[in-house]
Amino acid sequence: MTILLDGKIVRDSVAGELKNKILGLEKKLKLAILQVGNKEESNKYIEQKKLFAEKIGAEVIHVRFSEDVSQEKICAEIQKLNGDASVHGIIVQLPLPETLDKNLIIQNIDPIKDVDGLTSANTKLLWKNEKGHVPATARGILTLLDYYKIEIKGKKVVVVGRSQLVGKPVALSFLNRDAIVIVCHRGTSSIMSETKQADILVVAAGNPEFITKDFVREGQVVVDVGINVKKSEHQSEEILHKKVVGDVNFAEVSPIVSAISPVPGGVGPMTVLSLFQNLLDAYIMIEEK
């Protein structure tokens, strides 16, 4: 029988431990979220973070800028938060408008408070397999597999996608856990033959349901990172029916493989959990400094 890698169950189980640790802290654990504009998707993700924070007893401050804000103003706010001892983590909700230089803005975050793990300093630590903040999705995937006692060491892991936010940190995280890692992208000539070799297949392509039964074989573990909003076939002008699907065709793939994460309810909840695990790590690092 196929095991469902249920991110909600894991999140709720680990959230209890996290809450107990947070209750034992001297100061309130605090995350600052910087948002530019008012994108519906971003609002939704921020809301999920706020709800989770409330559940575990952490605090969130939400700084919202108008769409036409200058880069200097955002950087000045980051510098202010860097110097604020009551703030332990700072994240910039992505995507940013194209007029802004995302990398320049993120580099302003103090690496200890960079709980999204996106500054060069944290990337370098991940590269060197040293202690730092690992991007939340990568950390979440490993926590999910560990919870279900899925062996990583020595396993062949195929990652589809090589983005800075997901694919690359995921690949490095597995490499740091002694897996044998292959990374696929649009330039990979035969993705099917690569994915079929995997013991663990992680798909982060942003391509709705493109991993069909032809890409997998029996016994594999499949982790679907994709979040794609699909319009319903019965779409009408008046009522918008939106359905969230992953990068994996769940109906076709799930009967074949040995374990699979669903979308929604797989990696998504793990990403939120991992952000707050990073925040707690940041608190400890700041206190130890």
- Contact residues toward ligand NAP (CB under 6 A) are 137, 160-163, 165-167, 184-188, 191, 204-207, 210, 225-228, 267-268, 271
Q: How far is the CB of 163 from ligand NAP (least distance, A)?
A: 3
State the catalytic residue, choosing from 30, 35, 93, 220.
93
- In the numeric block, the tokens 């983005």 are attached to 163
| Closer residue to ligand NAP in complex, CB, 166/259 | 166
Q: Closest separation between CB of residue 183 and ligand NAP, Å?
A: 8
Determine which one of 30, 49, 113, 155 is catalytic.
Answer: 49
- 48 catalytically annotated: no
Q: What's the min distance (Å) between Cβ of 70 and ligand NAP?
A: 26
Query: Cβ of residue 190: shortest distance to ligand NAP, in angstroms?
Result: 11
Residue nearest to ligand NAP according to CB distances in the complex: 163
- Nearest approach in angstroms of CB 130 to ligand NAP is 24
Cβ at position 177, least distance to ligand NAP in Å: 19
Q: Is 116 a catalytic residue?
A: yes
Whether the Cβ atoms of residue 275 and residue 113 lie closer than 8 Å to each other: no
Separation in Å, CA 26 to CA 61, 82, 86, 87, 176: 19, 20, 11, 13, 33
Residue 242 tokens, joined: 């939106």
Residue in the block written with tokens 């695990």: 277
Active-site choice (114, 116, 247, 281): 116
User: In the complex with ligand NAP, which residue's Cβ is closer, 81 or 278?
Assistant: 278
* Residue 12 annotated among the catalytic residues of the structure: no
The smaller minimum CB distance to ligand NAP, of residues 77 and 119, is found at 119
- The smaller minimum CB distance to ligand NAP, of residues 33 and 166, is found at 166
- The 3 state secondary structure assigned to the chain is CCEECCHHHHHHHHHHHHHHHHHCCCCCCEEEEEEECCCHHHHHHHHHHHHHHHHHCCEEEEEEECCCCCHHHHHHHHHHHHCCCCCCEEEECCCCCCCCCHHHHHHCCCHHHCCCCCCHHHHHHHHCCCCCCCCHHHHHHHHHHHHCCCCCCCCEEEEECCCCCCHHHHHHHHHHCCCEEEEECCCCCCHHHHHHHCCEEEECCCCCCCECHHHCCCCCEEEECCCEEEECCCCCCCCCCEEEECCECHHHHCCCCCEECCCCCCHHHHHHHHHHHHHHHHHHHHHHC
Question: Which residues are designated catalytic?
Answer: 49, 93, 116
